[in-house]
Structure 1
Amino acid sequence: MELKSCRWVFTFLLTCCLIFSVACAVEGLPGDSKVRAVNLGGWLVVEGWIKPSLFDGIPNGDMLDGTEVQFKSVTSQKYVSSENGGGMNVSVDKDIPSSWETFRLWRISETKFQFRTFQGQFLTYDAEGSFVSATAQWPSARETFYVERNINRVHMRNKHGNCLQVSSTNQLTADYPGNPGWEDNAATFEMIIASNTLHGDYQLANGYGDDKAKKVLKTHRDGFVTVQDFEFLYHHGINTVRIPVGWWIASDPTPPAPFIGGTLNALDNAFLWAQTYNIKCIIDLHAAPGSQNGMEHSASRDGTTGWPTSSHISQTLNVIKFLVSRYAEHPALLGIELLNEPSAWTVPLDVLVSYYRQGYQIVREYSPTAYVIVCQRIGDTDPVEIYQANIGATNIVVDLHYYNLFDTNFVNMSSEDNIQFIYKSRETQLQALNNRNGPLTFIGFSPVRQSLSAVLLFALPCCCFFLHPLQ
């Protein structure tokens, strides 16, 4: 196996997935009807941990959208705090930072930012600059601050040029008129980056700006997955690819800012390459408008989840309609996953099931046979809730996620150990679900370390296999 032929295989974490049923075979596949697939993660939906170098050129790259920051006064050594997590004035009187003292960045440029509180309000100030409060529900010019930075020390200026400072009563005000120094000054703060984990499409595009982001993403999309990779997969027994996409693909080539066009052309290429090598495609809506889980792979701006609203759900259904109407007649289409990893904490089950039923009907309007894949909620939930939801009558598949990658018990396991775990420890769970005579089951597991040759050698005879990103 040549490294050149499978460069992205080693960037991805091999993830094995399966669709199976005692009574049902997978339609549309030749031979033994077993789906053996790879997940093309990090290609059309950005996940920074798959390819961190995508973000290397962003100025102030540790201050991307969604970065969580805390500010400590250099004079009082107290932290800036939004009382009650937002909705009140802002004080500078806490000794230990927690959620009220943590602000999420909305990046306007490399030097201009807005600060969002735990409860979702934005920092703002009154006309005189006498008080800073956390009361703005939506940011504008008054909620935008110019950040001057000297390593880990910052000054924050409002639109009038005045700096935020600590008052004699330990309140945050916006009325320091001059140029404070970097030492002991009421307008100087130490900035602590508490979390900088979001590196998705939003962070990349908004961080670089439109022109630079277009160049970076075009280079990435043109080279990360190519026709040679499809040829490689074909020669190694892989018959399906799962392709994550973002909701903005339906507006290509001019999606809403800050998203960058070009993913639709890349998806068209993938279907062409798949048809050439007799490979099937599963389209996976990985990023929904508003974000269904607050993670970078759902293109969340700041880690919050805003998807479960009627407007966002309607928009998402339109995306599904766009995708299925475009590819329903394509011989390479195997199925469409309606939504990846909705959050159990923020997406109510009844809302999700209603969306899945509507999405199923939309797919069936265009294709009587395409598989409709519905994902379990991520969190402390029982996958049975989706099995018994009665979403559709035919070719329904439930996507379960067994992420060995994030479990420390698997750190020292070999590829063979990971697969044997699926054989033995998951068997009871899977059999219990299969005995319900409900939808087919789509299983993913993320082995911590392995090579493609190991997975192909030890492939489960009854399963289909996916690749997932390698950290």
Structure 2
Amino acid sequence: MGTGFCNWVLPVILCCWVLFLSGVYSGDNLNGRKVRGVNLGGWLVVEGWIKPSLFDGIPNGDMLDGTQVQFKSVILQKYVSAENGGGQSLTVDRDIPSPWETFRFLLKQLWRVSETEFQFRSFGGQFLTCDAAGDSVSATAVSPSTKETFYVERNSNNRVHIKLESGAYLQATLANQLIADYPGTPGWDDNMATFDMIIVANNLHGDYQLANGYGHDKAKKVLTEHRNNFIKQEDFIFLYRHGINTVRIPVGWWIAQDPTPPPPFIGGSLAVLDNAFSWAQMYDIRCIIDLHAAPGSQNGMEHSSSRDGSIDWSTSPEYISQSLDVIDFLASRYANHPALLGIELLNEPSAFGVPLDALVSYYSKGYQIVRNYSSTTYVIICQRIGNADPLELYQANIGSSNIVVDLHYYNLFDIFFVNMSAGDNIEFIFKSRQTQLQALNKANGPLVFIGEWVNEWNVTSGSQMDYQEFGRAQLQVYDTASFGWAYWTLKNDRKHWDFEWNINKNYLQLEQTKVTSQIPNRREISSAAFFAFHGSSSHLFFNCKCFK
């Protein structure tokens, strides 16, 4: 009886002791360890490429918000065109499609109202509009309403009819105009009201597209099922058993207005984030909350919840203020939670759409907001994607303590990597990535975090051993980052992006790399190190993630 009592009591005492220690440690540390993390991507911020089946039930699923389309008259064999990108009446006179015929400008495209109602944005940003039956269609509306909403009837051969709310159908004329005056109801034979619709691109599959595509009730059901089952408590056990001490959790700006965010976004993600913190605490894992999707979109991609590919975040003080409110909400809610390690103020702002001065101002204000709630929580600032130098953030003097610069390393998404062999990719890791990390580590400024990387490349014939060597090279180099690293992502429909698959199938071997040193205390940048490194190759700074 005594032996059985000991066998039962000892584990309970140890468990209680672990929970006690977890409560004692503040959210600013990993007990001296560097971050060895995994991203929980595609969970609270939807990315269709991670789990395509989420979109399977949407009617007309190839006509989601942001889809690029062209229309060609079957009689005239001419394309509908917004001359000069918009600002005047449409014509039906182009033999070959050009950017004018695709209703977009910097990826501004189709807006979906329902499965049969759509609004179209021209190359110059204006919306197609038609006042009434008998009038011509022009690209002159600044914002859409009833007159800018068109009904699209579609057959199995991708032929379409387009009509107004009044029921009047658009037709091409022999004078190459587009007018809402077709008599009666057109058939699917060759007639002036029938057009071939060409889907040029259907690249955006984010929260906006999912929620607006399904409608609120169906979307709520789909997202509730997804959020409750994509990541579970068992996944944190898996991570703990494989030496992962941190999860980076992407969230969308609408989480701050949970449970009733503005349409079309669906509430419920906040309760799931609370669960993640509870599971993390149970298994001695820390959390980085990452504002992945900002209002107005900071990069035009689906993972920023963009509606149509526009990058409007920095163009409106309201969007930036709203983002700061989200940071305030997250910091106030989680700053004292023992599982919190850091808050990332913004994921992957675009160098092409977000000016550096606007970004630095936002980062500085976000840093102060977090400091209002915690003196020790790490504040993480992400490098701009595109042609941007990470040292621009070192130079900015955003904060004085526990600040981290997040770099994203992918040997993908650029022609530079297309023809590289397995050996070339590995050499690039050691020569370029390692050189950059060494320089940044020596700079007495923010810590360095490889917040996203993946064991995938453009090598189409890579063997398991090739992947193992590539993964080993990345782990060896990224382990030297002063703050640590996080793999993108835990689960993914594409197997080499799936951390769990890589571990279980022995394509990524964590145990063969050595975890080194503690997170250093870093405050100021060395100007000598800055200028010595500033002239390095542009490929050294490449970190863009652009899916599909």
Does TM, normalized by the shorter one, top 0.5?
yes
Aligned: 1:97 with 2:105: no
Partner residue in 2 for 1:465: 485
Partner residue in 1 for 2:444: 437
Partner residue in 1 for 2:203: 197
Please give the residue correspondences for 1:31-180 in structure 2 after superposition, counting only pairs within 5 Å: 31=32, 33-103=33-103, 104-151=109-156, 152-180=158-186
Please give the residue correspondences for 1:179-258 in structure 2 after superposition, counting only pairs within 5 Å: 179-258=185-264
Greater shift after overlay, 262-271 or 442-451?
442-451
For residue 449 of structure 2, give the secondary structure of its aligned residue in structure 1: strand
8 A Cα contact 2:429 2:474, kept in partner: no
Partner residue in 2 for 1:12: none
| Distance in 2, Cα, partners of 1:275 & 1:395 | 21
| Distance in 1, Cα, partners of 2:123 & 2:378 | 40
Q: CA RMSD for the aligned pairs?
A: 2.1
What amino acid maps onto 1:459 in structure 2?
A: L
Q: CA deviation at 1:181?
A: 1.6
| Distance in 2, Cα, partners of 1:395 & 1:170 | 63
For residue 313 of structure 2, give the secondary structure of its aligned residue in structure 1: coil
Cα separation, partners in 2 of 1:410 and 1:37, compared to 1, 3 Å: farther
Match of 1:357 among 364, 374, 396: 364
For residue 254 of structure 1, give the secondary structure of its aligned residue in structure 2: coil
| Distance in 2, Cα, partners of 1:44 & 1:110 | 25
- 1:317-369: per-residue Cα shift (whole Å, max 9, x none)? 00000000000000000001100011111111111110010000000000101
Partner residue in 2 for 1:28: 29
What amino acid maps onto 1:64 in structure 2?
A: L
- 1:146-166: per-residue Cα shift (whole Å, max 9, x none)? 110012100001011011111
- 1:88-135: per-residue Cα shift (whole Å, max 9, x none)? 110011111122101221111111111111111110013453211000
- 1:238-291: per-residue Cα shift (whole Å, max 9, x none)? 000000000000010111000001110110000000000000000000000011
What amino acid maps onto 1:91 in structure 2?
A: T
| Distance in 2, Cα, partners of 1:121 & 1:458 | 46
For residue 364 of structure 1, give the secondary structure of its aligned residue in structure 2: helix
8 A Cα contact 2:127 2:140, kept in partner: yes
Cα separation, partners in 2 of 1:320 and 1:458, compared to 1, 3 Å: closer
- Bigger Rg, which one: 2
Greater shift after overlay, 46-55 or 460-469?
460-469
Query: How many residues are paired up?
Result: 444
For residue 185 of structure 1, give the secondary structure of its aligned residue in structure 2: coil
Greater shift after overlay, 257-266 or 405-414?
405-414
Partner residue in 1 for 2:319: 312
Q: CA deviation at 1:386?
A: 1.2
Partner residue in 2 for 1:20: none
| Distance in 1, Cα, partners of 2:269 & 2:148 | 33
Cα separation, partners in 2 of 1:326 and 1:431, compared to 1, 3 Å: same
What amino acid maps onto 1:113 in structure 2?
A: F
| Distance in 2, Cα, partners of 1:86 & 1:334 | 49
8 A Cα contact 1:413 1:448, kept in partner: no
For residue 251 of structure 2, give the secondary structure of its aligned residue in structure 1: strand
Q: CA deviation at 1:410?
A: 6.8
Match of 1:271 among 260, 272, 277: 277
| Distance in 1, Cα, partners of 2:418 & 2:231 | 29
For residue 266 of structure 1, give the secondary structure of its aligned residue in structure 2: helix
| Distance in 2, Cα, partners of 1:174 & 1:457 | 62
Q: CA deviation at 1:80?
A: 0.5
- 1:134-183: per-residue Cα shift (whole Å, max 9, x none)? 00111111111111001210000101101111122101111213111212
What amino acid maps onto 2:135 in structure 1?
A: S
Cα separation, partners in 2 of 1:457 and 1:348, compared to 1, 3 Å: closer
| Distance in 2, Cα, partners of 1:181 & 1:73 | 14
Aligned: 1:371 with 2:378: yes
| Distance in 1, Cα, partners of 2:439 & 2:254 | 38
TM-score (norm 1): 0.90
Aligned: 1:321 with 2:336: no
For residue 405 of structure 1, give the secondary structure of its aligned residue in structure 2: coil
Partner residue in 2 for 1:446: 454
| Distance in 2, Cα, partners of 1:134 & 1:311 | 27
Cα separation, partners in 2 of 1:404 and 1:274, compared to 1, 3 Å: same
What amino acid maps onto 1:72 in structure 2?
A: K
Cα separation, partners in 2 of 1:235 and 1:209, compared to 1, 3 Å: same
| Distance in 2, Cα, partners of 1:330 & 1:340 | 22
| Distance in 1, Cα, partners of 2:235 & 2:447 | 28
- 1:421-468: per-residue Cα shift (whole Å, max 9, x none)? 433331222222333321111123333168899958983243533221
Partner residue in 1 for 2:305: 299
Which is bigger in relative contact order (C-alpha 8 A, separation at least 6)? 1
Cα separation, partners in 2 of 1:111 and 1:288, compared to 1, 3 Å: same
Residue identity (%): 69
What amino acid maps onto 2:41 in structure 1?
A: G
8 A Cα contact 1:418 1:447, kept in partner: no
